[in-house]
């Protein structure tokens, strides 16, 4: 017989994860008050939680003891997941390089429960809080990262998923199945997804090399006004992938499996 979850325990776990995620946005250190204000948490319980994370080895204090920093143990969390990209690879270094070279926001995204998840956001004007604040159902249907993820599904599953997403968004954000299928075909042909943005250019996204049984991950580039053109961005992707992941072109990352699943 399964036991019901204690809401207090779930809430505590959520807060612990949010405190750890607070440090993923280029925050080198933070005080208890910084974290409490950011999440609108009580100062006393935030202090207790952060001190607990110090005792567990996930946070540490600075030399003056007033601020907290991520500890090395935090970097070990999940480092075994997709080691080609993370433990042994240079996915984050590639993101930094692309953001600098193209003056774009670079987004690492996945999908969970039919919602797009932005795991890491580097450079540009879009910060992590903004990415996380997006309507994730709409983002899955209308963003370059979402289109890249959709391209990895077979047609029958994709058809059902689009019906579900269309039922959850306002009419103005609904899409035609045939339009999505056409966009998927275009991505398979070119090796990347491209979606128009507000600056008169197109956001770009590609599917990262897939490990059987692993999570679907995509890398998106959102150019700002006056940043590099599309061909320069795609060229940078090809060069970066070839150097970091041993690929010769963008669509070698997952082209054949995509073609098989989408047919």
Contact 32, 46 (CB under 8 A): yes
Fold equal for 7-75 and 91-262: no
- Domain locations in the chain as residue ranges: 7-75, 91-262
State CA 38 to chain mean position distance.
Answer: 21
| Architecture per CATH, 91-262 | 2-Layer Sandwich (3.30)
The CATH class of 7-75 is mainly alpha
Q: Which of 24, 118, 39, 133 is nearest to 70 (CA)?
A: 24
| pTM of this structure | 0.67
The rounded distance, in Å, linking the Cα atoms of 59 and 19 is: 10
pLDDT per position in the chain (263 positions), as tens? Answer: 445 545 555 678 888 888 888 887 656 788 999 999 989 999 999 999 999 988 888 888 887 778 998 887 776 676 666 666 666 667 777 888 888 888 888 888 888 777 787 877 887 665 555 554 555 778 888 889 999 999 988 899 999 999 999 998 889 989 999 999 999 998 888 888 999 887 788 889 988 876 666 678 888 888 877 777 788 888 877 777 767 665 543 444 443 333 333 33
Long-range contacts of 90-94 (CB under 8 A, 24+ apart): 90/244, 90/245, 91/208, 91/219, 91/244, 92/120, 92/122, 93/244, 94/219, 94/240, 94/241, 94/244
């Amino acid at each position: 017989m399964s036991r019901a979850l204690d809401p207090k325990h779930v809430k505590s776990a959520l807060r612990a994860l949010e405190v750890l995620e607070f440090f993923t946005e280029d925050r080198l250190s933070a005080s208890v008050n910084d974290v409490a204000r950011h999440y609108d948490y009580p100062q006393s319980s935030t202090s207790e939680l952060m001190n607990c994370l110090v005792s567990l080895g996930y946070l540490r204090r600075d030399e003056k003891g007033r601020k907290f920093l991520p500890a090395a143990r935090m970097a070990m969390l999940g480092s075994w997941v997709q080691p080609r990209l993370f433990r042994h690879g240079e996915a984050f270094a590639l993101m930094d390089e692309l953001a600098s070279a193209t003056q774009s926001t670079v987004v690492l995204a996945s999908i969970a429960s039919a919602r797009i998840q932005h795991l890491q956001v580097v450079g540009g004007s879009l910060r992590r809080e903004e990415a996380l604040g997006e309507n994730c159902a709409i983002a899955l249907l209308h963003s370059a990262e979402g289109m890249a993820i959709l391209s990895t599904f077979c047609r029958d599953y994709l058809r059902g998923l689009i019906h579900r997403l269309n039922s959850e968004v306002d009419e103005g954000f609904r899409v035609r199945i045939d339009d999505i299928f056409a966009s998927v075909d275009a991505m398979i042909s070119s090796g990347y997804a491209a979606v128009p943005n507000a600056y008169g250019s197109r956001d770009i996204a590609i599917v990262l090399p897939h490990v059987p049984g692993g999570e679907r991950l995509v890398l998106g580039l959102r150019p700002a006004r006056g940043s590099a053109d599309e061909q320069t961005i795609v060229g940078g992707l090809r060069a970066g992938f070839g150097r970091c992941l041993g690929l010769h072109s963008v669509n070698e990352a997952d082209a054949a499996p995509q073609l098989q699943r989408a047919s």
